[in-house]
Amino acid sequence: MTNPIRTLRRTIAATLILTATLSILPALRSPEATAYTYTPRRICDIDWREGRWHVKQLIRCAANHWEVGVRRALYVANRESDFRPRAYNRSSCAKGIFQHLCRYWPKRAYTFGFKDWSAFNARANIIVTMKMVRRYGWSPWGM
């Protein structure tokens, strides 16, 4: 083999290895493995503790902000909890406005910017839900 041919083969091999590596890297970074993302307080700064109307306003704001269907978000929240932040289902251990299951909530809260927040906090529950729906759709709620 002559020297230019050897160089050409090495260049092609290096290019293939680099291309394969770059195409695999996005797959290694799955949505579940994303780092903690902080959600600023100024986004949908509505005091949900003042009552159902305020909870609905928070859902509307978050759904609009994350471009999720407002009507469907309100429908699911009404079906799951009747807009009650303290809603709890003993048989499934589901909590909050959108009834997140106890075993899934900590990871979801961490992934979507509410590390160590309670599922009974309506702001956390609603915003985590809207971010999830934006990424995965309504399938966790059977829709």
Structural domain boundaries of the chain? 1-33, 34-141
In angstroms, the Cα distances linking 72 to 31, 55, 59, 135 are 23, 15, 10, 16
Rounded distance between C-alpha atoms, residue 49 and residue 20, angstroms: 51
- Segment 80-96 shows an average pLDDT of 95
Residues 6+ apart with CB under 8 A from 110: 36
Whole-model pTM above 0.85? no
Interval 7-56: pLDDT, tens:
888 888 777 776 766 666 554 554 444 445 666 667 888 899 999 999 99
Spatial distance between the Cα atoms of 16 and 11, rounded to a whole number of angstroms: 9
Q: What is the DSSP secondary-structure string of 84-98?
A: -TT-EETTTTEETTT
Instruction: Say which amino acid occupies 99.
Output: Q
